[in-house]
Amino acid sequence: MPSRRADPLTLEVVELIGDVVTRYHQEYEHAASSHQLTGAQARVLNLLSLEPMPMRKIAQKLRCEPSNITGIVDRLETRGLVERRPDPADRRVKLAAPTEEGLQTADRLRESLDFAREPLAGLSPAERAVLRDLLRRMLG
């Protein structure tokens, strides 16, 4: 791939997207650590609060090796936020599911995780629709 020089406008948009990504991650980590969770733990807890799932599926969602999930769920389980249940349909499978306390933590986390909600408040509904359409096209 030859290095085509992008125009200044494109470069600025690329940089702005990088800024959004940076801020998003900072606020995500901060929100997680305010609940004594790491970013990875918060992501798994959020995932499970939507729907209990096998360890392997968590790894697929997070795009990492299944062996990593063992440790992350171990730590959430030690904290009493998640539990492992047998899968009646397949005894090899363990279903990870949030406890009642885990669901509450996930809810409180989600409230502080809607980073974009505040900045979007400054945009009109029409502008938000434009932003939505542009982002959709960016993501293909």
Partner DNA sequence: TATTGTTATACTCTATAACTATA
Partner DNA sequence: TATAGTTATAGAGTATAACAATA
Structural contact between residues 26 and 75, judged by C-beta atoms closer than 8 angstroms: no
Report the site for its own copies in 41-70 (rule: CB under 8 A).
63
Least distance to DNA from the beta carbon of 102, Å?
15
Structural contact between residues 65 and 128, judged by C-beta atoms closer than 8 angstroms: no
Residue 23 vs 56, nearer CB to its own copies: 23
3-state class (DSSP) for residue 123? coil
Angle formed by the axes of helices 100-113 and 39-50, to 10°? 110
- Regarding 56 and contact with DNA (CB under 7 A), the answer is yes
Q: By CB under 8 A, name the binding residues for its own copies.
A: 1, 3, 6-7, 9-10, 12-14, 16-21, 23-26, 63, 107, 111-112, 114-117, 119-120, 122-123, 125, 127-132, 134-140
